A and B are shown apart, each in its own frame.
Chain A
Amino acid sequence: MNLFPRWLNGLRILGGALALSGGVYVVALFAYGASPKTLNAGFAPEQPVPFSHALHAGELGLDCRYCHTTVEVAARAAIPPTETCMNCHTRIRTQSELLKPVFDSWATGEPVHWKRVHDLPDYVYFDHSAHVTRGVGCVTCHGRIDTLERVRQEQPLSMGWCLDCHRNPAPNLRPPEFATSMDWQPDGPAAEVGAQIMQQRKLKPSTDCSTCHR
């Protein structure tokens, strides 16, 4: 009596192949597909106003802190209020169609609804001032903002990515006075320059859970 047809034997090879490739697929899916590098880096939403950092920070050479005023003293770098835009735009391009949301905001008092690009989870405490005043440059985490027409997230901003630097910050450190410089280059190997800054300023970044999860 043959309970199962003979062709089922062929399925054993197929089943083995499926189990094997399924394993590879799941590993690949989690290693690559679910990684914040894939999921989060490259996020560049369309903004209500096509504000160009390439024009303002790059061509015109505005310092980051002109708009992001609290970056050195507070946890948040601050999204500038409409008033900051109007410092110039009461006189420049006052008829621009593209700037209409800014002018509307100026008239009504309703803020422009900028879309947040670099958004950490709510259970993460991040302090811009702690980093900028100790010599982590804007460019380290945000990339060459001064070349971007539309802001995009350059780095994964994952926990592992944070820890990489907290465990070995030297290659990413610079004298704090150059924090907002987009094209600063170390004199010599970055790790050595950074190590010197660490020593001078007694920097010991913590990797305790409660440093970021308070």
Chain B
Amino acid sequence: MTASATTQAHLEEPYARPKLVEGAEDFGAVTQRVCGVLERPKPPRAWYIGLAISSSLTLLLFTMVVYLIATGVGVWGNNSPAFWGWGIVNFVFWVGIAHAGTLISAILFLLRQKWRTSINRAAEAMTLFAVCCAGLYPAIHVGRIWVAYWLFPFPNQMQMWPNFRSPLLWDVFAVSTYATVSALFWFMGLVPDLATLRDRSTTRLKQVIYGFFALGWRGSARHWQRFERAYLLLAALATPLVLSVHSVVSFDFAVSQVSGWHTTIFPPYFVAGAIFSGFAMVVTVMVPARELFGLKELVTIRHLENMNKVILATGSMVGLAYSTEFFIAWYGGNPYERFAFMNRAFGPYAWAYWIMIFCNVVAPQFFWSKKIRTSPWLMVGVAILVNVGMWFERFVIIVTSLARTYLPSNWGYFKPTWVDICTFAGTIGLFFTLFLLFCRFLPMVAIAEVKGVLPAAHAHPEHPKGGHDHG
């Protein structure tokens, strides 16, 4: 019995999946590698350069927000007939990006996809930062920002309530719920790792700060039992949110009667697009991050390849949705609907439409090639194209439909102002500033969870080296 078990362990299993984590085989090495990013005296030079650029852009964002509040929303390009412009384009763009984190951490957790452990922490952080960027737009677009709390229903002396039949109100709930649950989920997952950082910190200040947020975690069996139960419950709570948030965002359009918006395909199409753009952003950011901070053994090519497969799948779904829209516009026989789609593809915004088609439908098809799917810098190229394409998707949907509605005398051509452009550049800066700070001050990889998928975590007394990989 013992002899045969030993031989078995030595044999290479022909059907074995590639390892989830390379190099670092034992628990200590994983901790060392992740904490090493925070504990090195100085971050790499590229980090400083990145932070300098992104924090300058963030400053630009704050300037633009102050300018907008002080002057009024007229500084944006929104005007008749396109009353919705870059504000909502960027809102939907950022909310979409926010979808990868919770999908990876909640849905893949429930589906027992163990490869998620190496990327979930960073992806969840990206979710939160993207929600920050997204949430900014509804708050600042209202004009009188000091009464932005009127977006929420609460009893007041005016007896004034938001319109409960309006999807814009549902949006307020969907996005704020998503932000709250994502933040809780992210923070709760951080607690054991914060305790690790607390115990490894050498300065009193770091010990106190990490210690405060570690909530007194000692890693006892009872702590772990409750932690895992809570994590499972939060994952179950967060799962429907991944689907609901962007469905509700799509209602902002689908519930209206503008041709090109009033379609039942919107919720699934938007959710697929959101996951598509979210994963593209994770790839865009994780490839340089793993390179820069020496996390290649934890975030392996296999992780990136898996994400690229998701991008390929969701990108094809988005392509299918585009063609379905066109088919229904023709098959439905509604001349206004038909016009809206012909106008998209061949009207004054055709340039935006074909950028969108190239970036969202053609570009991800490169991922059929294993070579492109597994070479880091090529996949970043495709992922950036996808990000661009998904921004253009929202632009095409929102602006082309509004610029040419039912009344030809009311047609127009939307042009963004410099404030629109600087504000958007500013949110990109805010996103990367937050992410760079996160890389430096919090563990980018979920240490405790990665340890759980190491072969060593499943070692049996008969064959101590493990060998089971439940990936």
Complex Cα gap A158–B155 (Å): 13
Task: Please tell me if the beta carbons of A4 and B159 are within 8 angstroms of each other in the complex.
Answer: no
Complex Cα gap A31–B160 (Å): 15
Chain A, 149-196, CB within 8 A of any chain B CB: 156, 158-161, 163-164
Chain B, 197-242, CB within 8 A of any chain A CB: 198, 207-208, 211
Instruction: Tell me, rounded to whole Å, the shortest Cβ–Cβ distance linking B194 to chain A.
Output: 12
The 8 Å CB contact of A159, one of B157, B198, B207, B208, is B157
Task: Please tell me if the beta carbons of B208 and A3 are within 8 angstroms of each other in the complex.
Answer: yes
Task: Please tell me if the beta carbons of B157 and A3 are within 8 angstroms of each other in the complex.
Answer: no
Q: What residue in chain B is nearest A207 (Cβ atoms)?
A: B159
Task: Please tell me if the beta carbons of A163 and B159 are within 8 angstroms of each other in the complex.
Answer: yes
A69 at interface, CB cutoff 8 A: no
The 8 Å CB contact of A160, one of B157, B207, B208, B211, is B157
Contacts of A164 in B (CB 8 A): 159
Q: What residue in chain B is nearest A37 (Cβ atoms)?
A: B157
B158 at interface, CB cutoff 8 A: yes
Complex Cα gap A31–B157 (Å): 9
Given A3-B211, A4-B211, does the pair A160, B198 have CB atoms closer than 8 Å? no
Task: Please tell me if the beta carbons of A36 and B208 are within 8 angstroms of each other in the complex.
Answer: no
Contacts of A4 in B (CB 8 A): 208, 211
Chain B, 157-177, CB within 8 A of any chain A CB: 157-160
Instruction: Tell me, rounded to whole Å, the shortest Cβ–Cβ distance linking B140 to chain A.
Output: 22
Contacts of A163 in B (CB 8 A): 158-159
A94 at interface, CB cutoff 8 A: no
Task: Please tell me if the beta carbons of B157 and A156 are within 8 angstroms of each other in the complex.
Answer: yes
Complex Cα gap A163–B155 (Å): 14
Which of B155, B157, B198, B208 has the largest number of chain A CB atoms within 10 A?
Answer: B157
Complex Cα gap A36–B157 (Å): 7
Task: Please tell me if the beta carbons of B211 and A159 are within 8 angstroms of each other in the complex.
Answer: no
Task: Please tell me if the beta carbons of A3 and B207 are within 8 angstroms of each other in the complex.
Answer: yes
Contacts of B369 in A (CB 8 A): none
Count class of interface residues, chain A: 10 to 19
Chain A, 3-17, CB within 8 A of any chain B CB: 3-4
Complex Cα gap A164–B157 (Å): 11
Complex Cα gap A163–B208 (Å): 54
B2 at interface, CB cutoff 8 A: no
B156 at interface, CB cutoff 8 A: yes
A35 at interface, CB cutoff 8 A: yes
Complex Cα gap A160–B159 (Å): 5
Complex Cα gap A163–B160 (Å): 10
Contacts of B207 in A (CB 8 A): 3
Q: What residue in chain B is nearest A209 (Cβ atoms)?
A: B160
Q: Would you give the 0/1 interface string for A1-43, flagging 1 where the beta carbon is closer than 8 Å to chain B?
A: 0011000000000000000000000000001000110000000
Task: Please tell me if the beta carbons of A158 and B208 are within 8 angstroms of each other in the complex.
Answer: no
Instruction: Tell me, rounded to whole Å, the shortest Cβ–Cβ distance linking A83 to chain B.
Output: 39
Contacts of A3 in B (CB 8 A): 198, 207-208, 211
Instruction: Tell me, rounded to whole Å, the shortest Cβ–Cβ distance linking A38 to chain B.
Output: 10
Instruction: Tell me, rounded to whole Å, the shortest Cβ–Cβ distance linking B195 to chain A.
Output: 11
Q: What residue in chain A is nearest B155 (Cβ atoms)?
A: A31
Contacts of B158 in A (CB 8 A): 158-160, 163
Q: What residue in chain A is nearest B216 (Cβ atoms)?
A: A4
Complex Cα gap A161–B160 (Å): 12
Complex Cα gap A71–B198 (Å): 74
Contacts of A156 in B (CB 8 A): 157
Complex Cα gap A176–B208 (Å): 74
Complex Cα gap A16–B207 (Å): 24
Task: Please tell me if the beta carbons of A35 and B157 are within 8 angstroms of each other in the complex.
Answer: yes
Contacts of B159 in A (CB 8 A): 159-160, 163-164
Q: What residue in chain A is nearest B212 (Cβ atoms)?
A: A4
Instruction: Tell me, rounded to whole Å, the shortest Cβ–Cβ distance linking A189 to chain B.
Output: 25
Instruction: Tell me, rounded to whole Å, the shortest Cβ–Cβ distance linking A205 to chain B.
Output: 14
Q: What residue in chain A is nearest B160 (Cβ atoms)?
A: A159
Complex Cα gap A84–B207 (Å): 80
Complex Cα gap A160–B158 (Å): 4
Q: What residue in chain B is nearest A31 (Cβ atoms)?
A: B155
Complex Cα gap A204–B157 (Å): 23
Q: Would you give the 0/1 interface string for B148-160, flagging 1 where the beta carbon is closer than 8 Å to chain A?
A: 0000000111111
Complex Cα gap A4–B195 (Å): 13
Complex Cα gap A157–B158 (Å): 10
Chain B, 92-151, CB within 8 A of any chain A CB: none
Contacts of B208 in A (CB 8 A): 3-4
Given A159-B158, A159-B160, A160-B158: 14 more A-B contacts, CB < 8 Å: A3-B198, A3-B207, A3-B208, A4-B208, A4-B211, A31-B155, A36-B157, A156-B157, A158-B158, A159-B159, A160-B156, A160-B159, A161-B157, A163-B158
Q: What are 17 of the A-B contact pairs (CB < 8 Å)?
A: A3-B207, A3-B208, A3-B211, A4-B208, A4-B211, A31-B155, A156-B157, A158-B158, A159-B157, A159-B158, A159-B159, A160-B156, A160-B157, A160-B158, A161-B157, A163-B158, A163-B159
Q: Which 6 A-B pairs have the closest CB atoms?
A: A160-B159, A159-B158, A158-B157, A3-B211, A160-B157, A163-B159
Which A residues contact B (CB, under 8 angstroms)?
Answer: 3-4, 31, 35-36, 156, 158-161, 163-164
